[in-house]
Amino acid sequence: MRIAPTHPHVVIVGAGFGGLATARALRHVDVSVTLVDRNNYHLFQPLLYQVASGLLDPSAIASPVRTIMRRARNVDVIRAELMSVDLEHRHVDTSAVGLDYDYLVLASGSVTDYFGNANARQWSTGLKHLGDALTLRSRLLGCFETASLTVDAVTRRRLLTFAVVGGGPTGVEYSGAVAELIRHVLPKDYRRIDFAEVSVVLVEAGDRVLASFAPRLGRLAARSLERKGVRIILGQSVREVDEHGLVLQNGERVETNTVVWTAGVHAAVPLDLGDDATARGGRVKVTSQLHLPGHPEVFVIGDAAAITQDGAVLPMVAPVAIQGGKYVAREIAARINGAEVAAFRYHDKGTMATVGRGAAVAEIGPLRINGLIGWFIWVFIHLLYLVGFRSRLLALWSWAWNYFFWDRPVRLIVTADGDADPQETRGDGAG
């Protein structure tokens, strides 16, 4: 099937922050829009770690794309995977249909980067997809189930050690959430387990966590994690990962059955443009109007794009994608009307990260905020950006529940294909 509408046809690949912002902003523009995503939902990735740590249900952070786009009568949604782009003939192939385009917006995001480390890919789990979060939730709880029946001390400690690789916001937020789960919730459930044997290890190759924040906030976050019992290893990259643990650059071995890889991402771009056309992390270099050099009809936004501003490449964060999406929609509308739009300029409204229940660090302009006030700001901003009234209420409700009852309600070990296999996380000392 080939879809070729009569209006100028805008194909948007990816229903993340960038793609959604573009499609929404094109609602009242005289174009036909086709929004393609491999999933039928938009995922609010910044809160993915809360699903992975049993705080939120998936439906609090994932909303069906079709529902979000219901009122946009000129937007058609297709669940399919992008296969290839033919720049010359202005055509994309997806797993379901072929699409001719007048404008193409690549908002295809990024995927976990294992830096070519095949065993890291095999033996660790990323934290980018909803499936990753559900897998991690089941894995972590499964390790506790198995450990509670394991006599051999070495096997038990290995089951009860959780390693997080990467000290960026995802690694810091996830390890903080896991540490709180371990301190406040699980001891009530696993009375047989000696919690002195449980440990969370955060490995960061650089010399501090949250390197993108002001040094003081990074130090505060590190201290907060350490108070929760997280062991932070700085200045060490991971040399190897295997079934039973990981090896650091200095040769130290950490025995663990659970390695969460948040050390890096690279752009997900189904284009072979050559090395010169891409920057660090495979991000596509774009002009100041966010299109491919030589292809004014092909825009790249969000994590997939390397946008240079004031000599630096903009970070892979939601606000860059959202502002990029809105800009591209304006740009397309202007071109149809024969008007012009000034170059894209990103306005940094601040960055933030939670470090656990009731504590966050935030940088908003010249302000450096932490603690409970930072957390309230964090809650407010995230509620603002969550898609849909119901998701906001659900998330607020879950956060309040966690805040007042110190509880993580969604502790289910489940897969879509059938019920949990009790064998899957068995350590070899169990039985």
Contact pick of 5, 64, 270, 281 for a copy of itself (by CB under 8 A): 64
Bridge partner residues of 76 (DSSP): 34
Torsion of CA 36, 85, 127, 75, to 10 degrees: -20
| Catalytic-labelled residue, pool 145, 173, 204, 363 | 173
Contact pick of 8, 27, 80, 229 for a copy of itself (by CB under 8 A): 80
Contact pick of 66, 157, 208, 219 for a copy of itself (by CB under 8 A): 66
Report yes or no: 361 and 217 within 8 Å, Cβ to Cβ: yes
Write the interaction track for a copy of itself spanning residues 159-198; mark x where CB under 8 A is met and - where it is not.
Answer: -----------------------------xxx-x------
Contact pick of 129, 208, 285, 357 for a copy of itself (by CB under 8 A): 129
Residue 138 binds a copy of itself, judged by CB under 8 A: yes
d(CA 362, CA 216): 11
Instruction: Quickly list DSSP for 156-191.
Output: HHHHTEEEEE--SHHHHHHHHHHHHIIIIIHHHH-T
Going by the DSSP 8-state scheme, the letter that residue 282 receives in this structure is: G
Residue 81 binds a copy of itself, judged by CB under 8 A: yes
Residue 261 binds a copy of itself, judged by CB under 8 A: no
Residue 188 C-beta: closest distance to a copy of itself, Å: 5
Strands 41-43 and 62-64, how do they pair? antiparallel
Residue 100 binds a copy of itself, judged by CB under 8 A: no
Contact pick of 105, 230, 267, 413 for a copy of itself (by CB under 8 A): 413
Residue 26 C-beta: closest distance to a copy of itself, Å: 17
Residue 274 binds a copy of itself, judged by CB under 8 A: no
Q: Could you tell me if residue 426 is left (phi over 0), alpha (psi between -120 and 50 degrees) or otherwise beta?
A: beta
Residue 236 binds a copy of itself, judged by CB under 8 A: no
By C-beta, is 152 or 207 nearer to a copy of itself? 152
By C-beta, is 338 or 418 nearer to a copy of itself? 418
Residue 143 C-beta: closest distance to a copy of itself, Å: 11
Contact pick of 17, 41, 101, 213 for a copy of itself (by CB under 8 A): 41
Contact pick of 146, 161, 224, 262 for a copy of itself (by CB under 8 A): 146
Residue 410 binds a copy of itself, judged by CB under 8 A: yes
3-state secondary structure of 427: coil
Question: Is residue 274 classed exposed, middle or buried when 0-12, 13-18 and 19+ CB atoms within 10 A define those classes?
Answer: exposed
Q: Which residues contact 105 (CB under 8 A, 6 or more apart)?
A: 10, 11, 12, 13, 18, 19, 22, 299, 300, 301, 325, 328
Residue 255 annotated in active site: no
Question: Is residue 414 classed exposed, middle or buried when 0-12, 13-18 and 19+ CB atoms within 10 A define those classes?
Answer: exposed
Identify residue 7 by its one-letter amino acid code: H
The one segment of 123-131, 195-203, 246-254, 297-305 that binds a copy of itself by CB under 8 A: 123-131
Residue 78 C-beta: closest distance to a copy of itself, Å: 7
Q: Which helix (H) or strand (E) holds 33?
A: strand 32-37
Report yes or no: 42 and 69 within 8 Å, Cβ to Cβ: no
**What's the Cα-to-Cα distance from 318 to each of 293, 302, 359, 410, 424, rounded to whole Å?**
24, 7, 21, 26, 35
By rule CB under 8 A, what count of residues binds a copy of itself?
58
d(CA 413, CA 245): 22
3-state secondary structure of 49: helix
Contact pick of 5, 8, 67, 317 for a copy of itself (by CB under 8 A): 67
Contact pick of 87, 130, 318, 377 for a copy of itself (by CB under 8 A): 130
Catalytic residues, which ones? 173
Interface residues toward a copy of itself, by CB under 8 A = 1, 38-41, 57-59, 62, 64, 66-67, 70, 76, 78-81, 95-97, 129-132, 134-135, 138, 141, 145-146, 148-151, 188-190, 192, 390, 401, 409-420, 422-423, 426, 430-431
